[in-house]
Structure 1
Amino acid sequence: MTLNEMNDRIVRYGELIPCKTAFIDAHTPGSDRKENFTIIGGGVSESTDQHVHISIPHGFNIGAAGQPPKCRNSLHSHRTAEVFFVLSGRWRFFWGRYGTAGEVVLEEGDIINIPTGIFRGFENIGTDYGMIMAVLGGDDAGGGVIWAPEVIQDAADHGLVLGANGKLYDIKKGQALPDGITPMPVLTEAELKAYPEPTTGDVVPRHVARYWDMVALGDRKPALVIGEKAMLPDKPGFEVHLVTRGSATADMHKHDIPSVLMPMHGHWTVTWETEGTAHNVVLNPGDTMSVPEGVMHSVLPSMTGEASLFHIVATSDGAGTTWKG
C-alpha cells in the first residue's frame, strides 16, 4: 500500500464535501441550514447531490452532520444501528413519537447508541457550528430513513416530496415524481403504535457513554465502548473502541477486514509497512481513515497533550438493539 494509495483512504475534516439537500426536511424552517456528509459507504441520503468520499464496503457506513446553533434534524427512525459521537459543540438528542418521550444532552466526545425502532432527532444547542460523527450499521444502512408523518407533511408544504423510490423531488425547481413513482407512504396510526416511547431513564444508562468515563477505562488498554461485552453492550454489526495516549501501542498489527480510525483529540501518526518499507501519515481531529485489511500498522499520538481516537471495525453480528423496553 503506497503513500498515495493510503492517502486515497483518508478524508480530511477540512476537505469534507457537504450536502445541504440530503433529506426531506432540507427546506423546512429550523432544519434548512444543516449539512450532511457521507464519508464511507453509500449512507442514507435521499439526494443525488450527496457526495460519497469512500465507497469501499466496510460492513457499516460513516457519516456526519454539521449544524449551526438552533438547527434541528427532524424525527426519523432507522432499521439498523445509529451511533453518534460529538466532535464539536453541544447537542440535544430526543426521541419518541413526538420527540417528547426522553432526551439527553451530549458534550464533546460523548457517544450515543440509539436503538433501532424508535423515532429520534437532534439539535445543536451550542453557540457555534457543531459536528457529530455517525456510524450506521450495514453496507446499505437498512435501506433508508423512516420519517414521522408530520415531517413528510411539513416538507410537502415547503416544496419537497419524497418518492416511494427513496428519492427527493423539489417542486420549487420544477421537479415532479416520475411516471410510475408514487409518494412515500405515510405510516398509519396502527404502524405508529409499534414505535416505543422509552424514557430518559430507560435509554441513557444503557445507550450513552460519557467521554471522560471512556478515557478512564481506556487508560491502559483501548476501551470497548460498543460491542457484545462493551460499556454499552450491543451487537450492531460493528465494534467501537476508544484509544487514548495510555492505551496506544507501537506494536504493529493488522485486521482481516477494513477498519476505521477517527481522532477525537490530539494528532495521531499512523505507520504502516509495505514490502519492508515504512510509511506514515498524521491524522487530526475530524479526519477519517480507512485502514485496508491485511496491512500491518500502528497508531500513536504525535504530540504531547490530550489524545484520543475512535476505532471502528465490523463484526458478523446483527443490526443492533431493537427497543423492547
Structure 2
Amino acid sequence: MTPQEIESRIVRYGDLRPCRTAFIDAHTPGSDQKENFTIIGGGVSESPDQHVHIGIPHGFNIGAAGQPPKCRNSMHNHRTAEVFFILSGRWRFFWGEHGDAGEVILEEGDIFNIPTNIFRGFENIGTDYGMIMAVLGGDDAGGGVIWAPHVIEDAKAHGLILGENGKLYDSKKGETLPDGVSPMPLLTQAELDKVDCPSAMQVIGGYVRRYLDMVALAEDAPVKVIGETGIIRDKPGFEIDFITRACASDEMHKHDRPSVLMPVKGHWRVDYQGGSATLAPGDTMSVPEGLMHRAVPSMTGEAALYHIIATDDAAGATWQG
C-alpha cells in the first residue's frame, strides 16, 4: 500500500473530531461537557452529528471519551464487551443502577474489561482534561446503549428525548418525536432485576489490570491482556495484546484480518511494505489484513502500546458471575 493509503487509516489524536451531543445525558448537569469520539466503526452514538473517522469493518469498534475534571458519564449498559484503557488523567469507574455497587480508580495505561449486563459509569477525577480509549465488541456494537431509568428521566427534564428508534431529539432545538415513534421505554422492575450487580472484589480482581503490572510481565514477550489465554480470560470477539520496548519484535509479520495499533506511551515507528509511519499516544492505526508490518519504538524512553484484533468468537456477554 502507498503511504497515502496507509495515512488514511491513521487517526491522529490532534485530528479527532468530538461530538458533544452523542448521548442522552448531553444536557444533564455534570455530564454536559463530555466529548465523544468515534474512531473506527459506527459505535453506539445516538446523535446524527457524530463523525466516524474510519468506517471499515474490523469486528469491533474503537472510540474515545474526553472529559474535563468532575465530568461524568451516566449509568448505562451494553450488550457486547466494553473495554477501556486510560490514555490520560485519573478516572473513577463505578457500577450498579445508581452507581453505588462498587468502584475502581484507574491511572494512565490501566485497562478495564467491563462485563456486559451491568450498569456502569465513569468520571474524570483528575485535575486536567482526560481521555479514555474504548473498544466495543461487534461491528454494530450490540445495537446501542441501555440506559438506567433515572438517566432517561433526568435527560427529559433537560430537553433530550430518546426515541425507541435509538435516536435523540432535542426540544431545545424545537425537535419532537416523529409521527409513529414513541419514547424509549424505561426498563421495568422485572428487567432491572435481571441486571447483574457484582461486588468490587469480583470486578476488580477479574477484569482490571494495572499498567505497571503489565510492564513487568512484558519483559520477554507481549502480554495477552484479553483473550482465551489472557491475563483477563475472556472471549469478547477480539483480543488485546500489550507490547513494550522490552518485547517489541523487529520481525515483519501480517494478519488475516485488520488489526489496530494504539500507543499509550512513547512514539512508535510502524514499518510496512511501501513505507513507514510514526505513531504517538492517542493515535490509532488500522493495519490492513495481509500487510507485512512491524511496530518498534522510535525514540528513547518509555514505550508501550495496545494491539487489537478480532477473533471468531461472538461479541457477547463477558460477565460470568
Report TM bin, short chain: over 0.9
> Which of these residues, 288, 293, 299, is aligned with residue 289 of structure 2?
293
CA distance in 1, matches of 2:97, 2:196: 8
**Conserved? CA contact 2:235–2:318, under 8 Å:** no
Aligned residue identity for 1:23: F
Any stretches of 5+ residues in structure 2 without a counterpart? Answer: none
CA distance in 1, matches of 2:308, 2:247: 16
Kindly indicate whether the alpha-carbon contact (under 8 Å) linking 1:196 and 1:324 is maintained by their aligned counterparts in 2: no
CA apart distance, 1:107: 0.2
8 Å contact 2:234–2:318 — kept in the other structure? no
- Deviation readout 1:46-71 (Å, 9 max, x if unpaired): 00000000000000000000000000
CA shift at 1:320, angstroms?
Answer: 4.4
CA distance, structure 1, for counterparts of residue 194 and residue 316 of structure 2: 18
In 1, distance between residues paired with 2:221 and 2:91? 29
Structure 2 letter corresponding to 1:215: V
What letter is aligned with 1:217?
Answer: L
Task: Tell me the distance in 1 between the aligned counterparts of 2:248 and 2:320.
Answer: 37
The residue type paired with residue 13 of structure 1 is Y
Q: CA deviation at 1:319?
A: 2.1
* Aligned counterpart, 1:137: 137
Between the aligned partners of 1:14 and 1:317, the Cα distance in structure 2 is: 34
The residue identity in structure 1 corresponding to 2:298 is S
C-alpha distance in structure 1 between counterparts of 2:319 and 2:81, whole Å? 11
Please give the root-mean-square deviation of Cα atoms over the aligned residues, in Å: 0.7
> Structure 1 length as normaliser, TM-score?
0.98
Are the aligned partners of 2:87 and 2:282 in contact in 1 as well (CA < 8 Å)? yes
Q: Which residue is 1:302 aligned to?
A: 298
Which structure 1 segments of 5+ residues have no match? none
Contact 2:13–2:283 (Cα < 8 Å) also in 1: yes
**1-structure distance, mates of 2:220, 2:155:** 49
Give a deviation string over 1:207-256, Cα, whole Å, max 9, x none. 00000111111121110000011011000000000110011111000001
Alpha-carbon distance in 1 for matches of 2:95, 2:117: 11
Contact 1:59 / 1:139 at 8 angstroms: preserved in 2?
Answer: yes
Which residue of the partner structure matches residue 23 of structure 1? 23
**Which TM-score applies when normalising by structure 2?**
0.99
Q: How does 1:108-257 map to 2 (within 5 A)?
A: 108-257=108-257
Residue in structure 2 matched with residue 47 of structure 1 by the alignment? 47
Task: Report SS of the residue matched to 1:251.
Answer: coil
Equivalent residue, structure 1, for 2:4: 4
Contact 1:248 1:299 in 2 (8 A): yes
Q: Deviations over 1:234-285 (max 9, x none)?
A: 0000000011001111100000100000001010000111xxxx41010000
